[in-house]
Amino acid sequence: MNDEDRMSSTILQHTVKKYDEELAQIRDHVLKMGWLAGMQLRDALKTLALTDSVLREGVLRRESDMDQMEVEVDEAILELVARRCPMGSDLRTIVSFSKSASDLEKIGDEAVRIVGFTQELTESNYNELNKNAISEIERLGQLAISIFQDAIALFAEWDEIKAQQVICSQTDMDGEFQQELQRLMTYITEDSLLVKQAVCMALVAKSFDRITHHAQNLAEYVYFEIKGVDVRLGDVRSGL
């Protein structure tokens, strides 16, 4: 190999290394968004049982951080695409990151909605019957957060089987959500004075349901990146 070939090889290796570093930085940014979204969800869930204004204010305050992080991910992706013109699996990775940032921002929005509903519940002085309903919603919330945490962990592990499991878990969550709505309808029919409270609780449950759908999206993006297969209109259960 002559000097010119060696120089070209060195430049290529440097370019590839730099490109990999840029992709890793975007992945790290998505993971940071996931960490913040998880904090938002956990704090929002706590406000169901705790009349803690500090918790609520923290969730509301950090919402702007989520928005800013999504913008930063988008900007980094646009710059990378403009300079590197990625193709194949690299392009799939970048598409996955871009869509994931959008879903994570929406999860942050759901946390803010939950805080708004729990504020209304606190102001309505819900009684013991409502607290029993809230304990059920807390269980639903814990399930949603667990599914979300499994989904965001995929961006560090890139595990095809785990991605399939998160995608399939959405079916179980849909069943839980329908059961919860039926219980809330029972509270409404038993006491008309609880209508406003029951509606708030139903909307909280719906937010957790939407969160699991976003978590499913995250898992689908990872599966798409790994396999190059879009499973949104298909079924991955056969691969389990």
pLDDT tens for 169-200 read 776 777 777 777 777 667 666 665 567 777 88
Q: Look up the CATH number of the domain holding residue 15.
A: 1.20.58.220
pTM reported for the whole predicted model: 0.83
What angle, rounded to 10 degrees, do the helices at 160-190 and 128-157 form?
Answer: 170
Q: Which single residue is written with the structure tokens 């029993």? A: 132
| 120: Cβ contacts below 8 Å, ≥ 6 apart | 196, 200
Residues of 45-66 as b/e, b for ≥16 C-beta within 10 angstroms? Answer: bbbbeeeeeebbebbeebbeeb
Nearest to 166 by CA among 146, 182, 138: 146
Question: What pLDDT was estimated at residue 149?
Answer: 92
For 214, the token pair is 């976003």
Confidence grade of residue 1 (pLDDT, cut at 50, 70, 90): low
Nearest to 166 by CA among 107, 217, 226: 217
- Chain centroid, CA 11 distance in Å: 39
Q: How many independent structural domains does the chain possess?
A: 1
Give me the domain span that covers residue 87.
3-239
Question: What pLDDT was estimated at residue 65?
Answer: 93
